[in-house]
């Protein structure tokens, strides 16, 4: 793959959308931390060795500058964010050409693509921010969930950078980052709040009670909504260069959403879990029965053919979003029972950049006298800002690892968490419908943090 094509989006992300100045950066350089006082947050696997250094060291400073690195799936992203909330830079290199070629993410290819661009992406983020590594307070990096091969590239880069410049390192949960980036946007957004996280790999409904304290109200029992958008787009012969979601959103505007009666998933299950595998099958059958040839790109289709494809896109989107709406209604009910003071529903993750999704969820939220908080699209899809910001939130609480050694031994085993639940399941929300793959490699982020807090008391 040509490097130039991989880097095509590198400069397309606009400069920081929040006003900032870089005049005082030199003065912002933090005093060196005292590594010997710090204890690792992201200790490998065992709960007993995990501890939070909150009482030992609490960097409250509003002038922290954190580099965030994200490589959990197909986007190589880096950003520099200040703890005051200023985004100093944001760089994303996406693997559009690979997505088109394979119709999805192929882990080995994705790993290779990350490896090819990671150095340039990080360097570009530092350049755009007008800082060097010596100005940084810490490095934050996604350690899970995601594809191991891909996560490794980011973690390796983060540890190398942190090791060379004696910087603490913060391991970040990808889905927590999708939720917390809303607090960067909306500084009024206080815990507790609800979040619906909708991406290519995950559907999550959570109640966020505090930093690192999440109750999982619902999750996907099979495919996530983004996967359903992507496959529908592929089968309809749409242009996948920006991933399937935006292509479906666009085409659906031309179609009749009532023309095909797909059934809403999991109607009979009165819980907050999600399922999109069945809807995918319904869509595939509808496409097959209408003899749509995905080999013929939509741009070359006859007007009748285009109309049929648009009707399928619109009908799919309507039902996909109705499923979200139903689950959110119930989740709001549950969440208000647990935390009556909730005022906000955050909607984030790649699919949250969809205007139809936003508009419909806004109605649900308003009916329940809550407010919708949606980050701008560039912060909904995978990005380094959300990782840097989540790093800042944990860093302030004293949760981080000490700087890695400048030269890491060849056989060092990285702490990667490809399957890593965010919170503990809401007991009353369990349902027999859950055929969830149970293999848990790691305890949830929330249980790790709770265990460490108990250790301190």
Give me the residues that bind Zn ion (CB under 5 A), please: 199, 382
DSSP letters, 221-273, are: SS--HHHHHHHHHHHTT---TT-HHHHHHHHHTTS-TTSS-PPPTTTT--SS-
90 binds, among ligand KG4, Zn ion, none (CB under 5 to 8 A by kind): none
Q: Which is nearer to ligand KG4, 192 or 245 (CB)?
A: 245
351 binds, among ligand KG4, Zn ion, none (CB under 5 to 8 A by kind): ligand KG4
353 binds, among ligand KG4, Zn ion, none (CB under 5 to 8 A by kind): ligand KG4
For residue 298, list its beta bridge partners: none
Per-residue CA distances from 5 to 93, 105, 285, 383 (Å):
10, 17, 35, 19
226 binds, among ligand KG4, Zn ion, none (CB under 5 to 8 A by kind): ligand KG4
Q: Which is nearer to ligand KG4, 131 or 175 (CB)?
A: 175
Compute the distance between CA of residue 401 and CA of residue 249 in angstroms, rounded to an integer: 41
Compute the least distance from the CB of residue 455 to Zn ion, in Å: 31
Compute the least distance from the CB of residue 233 to ligand KG4, in Å: 7
Compute the least distance from the CB of residue 407 to Zn ion, in Å: 32
Coarse DSSP helix, strand, coil percentages of the chain, rounded to the nearest 5 percent = 40, 15, 45
Which residues fall within 8 angstroms of residue 450, CB to CB, at 6 or more apart?
213
Q: Which is nearer to ligand KG4, 131 or 328 (CB)?
A: 328
Q: Which is nearer to ligand KG4, 255 or 349 (CB)?
A: 349
Encode burial over 336-374: b for 16+ CB neighbours within 10 A, e otherwise. Answer: beebeebebbbbbbbbbbbebbbebbbebbeeeebebbb
Compute the least distance from the CB of residue 197 to ligand KG4, in Å: 8
Compute the distance between CA of residue 403 and CA of residue 438 in angstroms, rounded to an integer: 34
Compute the least distance from the CB of residue 454 to ligand KG4, in Å: 31
DSSP letters, 385-396, are: HHHHHHHHHHHH
283 binds, among ligand KG4, Zn ion, none (CB under 5 to 8 A by kind): none
Compute the least distance from the CB of residue 62 to ligand KG4, in Å: 29
Q: Which is nearer to ligand KG4, 350 or 443 (CB)?
A: 350
Chain residues binding ligand KG4 by CB under 6 A are 73, 199-201, 226, 229-230, 243-246, 249, 349-351, 353-354, 381-382
**CA dihedral defined by 178, 116, 158, 30, rounded to 10 degrees?**
-90
273 binds, among ligand KG4, Zn ion, none (CB under 5 to 8 A by kind): none
249 binds, among ligand KG4, Zn ion, none (CB under 5 to 8 A by kind): ligand KG4
Which residues fall within 8 angstroms of residue 183, CB to CB, at 6 or more apart?
189, 389, 393
- The gap from C-alpha 366 to its chain's centroid, in whole angstroms, comes to 25
Compute the least distance from the CB of residue 390 to ligand KG4, in Å: 14
Q: Which is nearer to ligand KG4, 218 or 244 (CB)?
A: 244
Q: Which is nearer to ligand KG4, 260 or 320 (CB)?
A: 320
Residue 62 buriedness (CB in 10 A; 0-12 / 13-18 / 19+): exposed
230 binds, among Zn ion, ligand KG4, none (CB under 5 to 8 A by kind): ligand KG4
Compute the distance between CA of residue 204 and CA of residue 199 in angstroms, rounded to an integer: 9
What are the structure tokens assigned to 253, written together? Answer: 């505007």
Q: Which is nearer to Zn ion, 51 or 348 (CB)?
A: 348
Compute the least distance from the CB of residue 206 to ligand KG4, in Å: 15
Residue nearest to Zn ion (CB): 199
What are the structure tokens assigned to 196, written together? Answer: 């619906």
């Amino acid at each position: 793959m040509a490097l130039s094509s991989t880097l095509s989006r590198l400069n397309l992300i606009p400069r920081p959308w929040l006003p900032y100045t870089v005049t005082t950066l030199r003065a912002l350089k933090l005093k060196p931390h005292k590594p010997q006082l710090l204890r690792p947050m992201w200790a490998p696997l065992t709960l007993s060795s995990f501890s939070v250094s909150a009482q030992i060291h609490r960097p409250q400073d509003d002038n922290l500058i954190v580099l965030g690195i994200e490589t959990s799936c197909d986007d190589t992203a880096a950003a520099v964010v200040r703890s005051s909330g200023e985004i100093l830079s944001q760089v994303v290199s996406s693997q559009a050409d690979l997505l088109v070629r394979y119709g999805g993410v192929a882990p080995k290819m994705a790993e290779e693509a990350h490896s090819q661009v990671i150095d340039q992406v990080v360097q570009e983020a530092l350049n755009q921010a007008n800082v060097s590594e010596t100005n940084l307070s810490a490095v934050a990096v996604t350690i899970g969930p995601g594809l191991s091969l891909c996560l490794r590239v980011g973690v390796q880069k983060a540890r190398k950078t942190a090791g060379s410049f004696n910087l603490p390192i913060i391991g970040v949960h990808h889905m927590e980052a999708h939720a917390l980036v809303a607090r960067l946007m909306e500084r009024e957004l206080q815990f507790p709040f609800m979040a619906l996280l909708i991406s290519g790999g995950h559907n999550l409904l959570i109640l966020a009670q505090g930093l690192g304290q999440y109750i999982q109200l619902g999750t996907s029992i099979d495919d996530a909504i983004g996967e359903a958008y992507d496959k529908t787009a592929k089968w309809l012969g749409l242009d996948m260069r920006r991933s399937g979601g935006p292509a479906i959103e666009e085409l659906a505007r031309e179609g009749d959403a009532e023309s095909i009666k797909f059934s809403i998933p999991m109607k009979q299950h009165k819980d907050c879990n999600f399922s999109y595998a069945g809807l995918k099958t319904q869509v595939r059958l509808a496409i097959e029965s209408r003899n749509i040839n995905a080999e013929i790109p939509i741009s070359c289709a006859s007007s009748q053919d285009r109309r049929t494809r648009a009707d399928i896109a619109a009908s799919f989107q309507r039902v996909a979003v109705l499923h979200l709406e139903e689950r959110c209604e119930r989740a709001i009910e549950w969440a208000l029972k647990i935390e009556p003071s909730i005022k906000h529903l955050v909607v984030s993750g790649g699919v949250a950049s969809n205007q139809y999704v936003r508009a419909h969820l806004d109605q649900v939220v308003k009916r329940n006298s809550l407010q919708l908080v949606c980050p701008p699209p560039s912060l909904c899809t995978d990005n380094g800002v959300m990782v840097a910001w989540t790093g800042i939130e944990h860093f302030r609480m004293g949760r981080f690892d000490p700087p890695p050694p400048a030269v890491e031994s060849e056989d060092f085993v990285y702490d990667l968490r490809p399957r890593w639940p965010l919170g503990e399941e809401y007991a009353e929300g369990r349902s027999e419908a859950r055929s969830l793959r149970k293999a848990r490699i790691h305890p949830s982020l929330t249980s790790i943090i709770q265990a460490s807090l108990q250790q301190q008391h």
